[in-house]
Amino acid sequence: MSRALAIHGAGGRMGRAIAEVVARGGQGQEGQEPEEGATLVVTGAIEREGSPLVGQDFGVVTAARESGVAITASLSDGLAGADVAIDFTGPASTRRFVAACADLGVPAVVGTTGLDAETLAALDAAAAKVPVVFAPNMSVGVNVLFHLAAQAAALMGPEFDAEIVEMHHRHKVDAPSGTAQRLAEVVAEAKGLDLARDAVHGRSGQVGVRRDAEIGVMTLRGGDVVGEHTLYLAGAGERVELTHRATDRAIFARGAVRAARWAIGRDAGRYDMGDVLGLGG
């Protein structure tokens, strides 16, 4: 059964990656089996006002073949008839997107990172009317990392110091990454810490001895690194490292498409990839 998908940020790197995954029927790479669930068909492609892509055929822009779907700057036009919509843009655009989805009754999948309190509140407001899946990282592996990190941090206790290091390509504009921030939240919750108080973003100079109640979050930027995240749990005489390395942006697109399929027909509410994957608490 085919379901209609709208993509907000259709001309961006993630929009194009999602289009490729959808074109493969859910496959990320040649030879992979498609995932179970409804077949998605792109029926709406939305870009920012003033984008040179507006008016162009989405299929030509993303895959050099006509699709009959014209890229639009209108949220209402792009979302018309959609069974679900995916957003990878920026905080201000995401706020407008989720509000439009709520008004039109369209389930929303949000992969935009660097969201501020205003945007998170907008997600909650939309979730009162439609299902909203939000995750700072849509990859299956990263969400398993969150699950394992929570277990490890709780089991190893306060005797093990938690430090997080993330690295991304030189063009990433927000720091730390949304994934690193979420990883820190998971660890803080497992350790019973207050992240707003206990997070340390970088160290320089005579900072003194490390406090027990600290979670270090360090950011690296350079080259074309898709994404790397490592949680260090360091104790006396031993250290555990949990690492996820992304080598292909398609993993995020596959996760977003999986979340979109899952969201169709769900009750209104705020969900994350843990819900999509059935990871539980």
Tokens 């992304």 appear where?
246
DSSP 188: H
CA distance 63 to 15: 12
What is the distance between the alpha carbons of residues 261 and 257, in angstroms, rounded to a whole number?
6
Question: Of the residues 8, 129, 169, 172, which is catalytic?
Answer: 172
The C-alpha atoms of residue 231 and residue 241 are separated, in whole angstroms, by: 6
DSSP structure class, residue 131: E
Question: Is 203 buried (19+), middle (13-18) or exposed (0-12) by CB count in 10 A?
Answer: exposed
Tell me 57's DSSP state: B
d(C-alpha 215, C-alpha 187), whole Å: 8
H or E element, residue 6: strand 2-8
Contact present, 44 and 4 (Cβ < 8 Å) = yes
What's the first-to-final CA gap in the chain, in angstroms? Answer: 32
From the candidates 168, 191, 229, 244, give the one annotated as an active-site residue: 168
> CA–CA separation, 171 vs 168, rounded Å?
8
Q: Contact at 8 Å (CB) between 249 and 21?
A: no
Residue for token digits 């979420």? Answer: 182
169 is catalytic: no
Task: Decide if 191 is catalytic.
Answer: no
Residues catalogued as catalytic: 168, 172
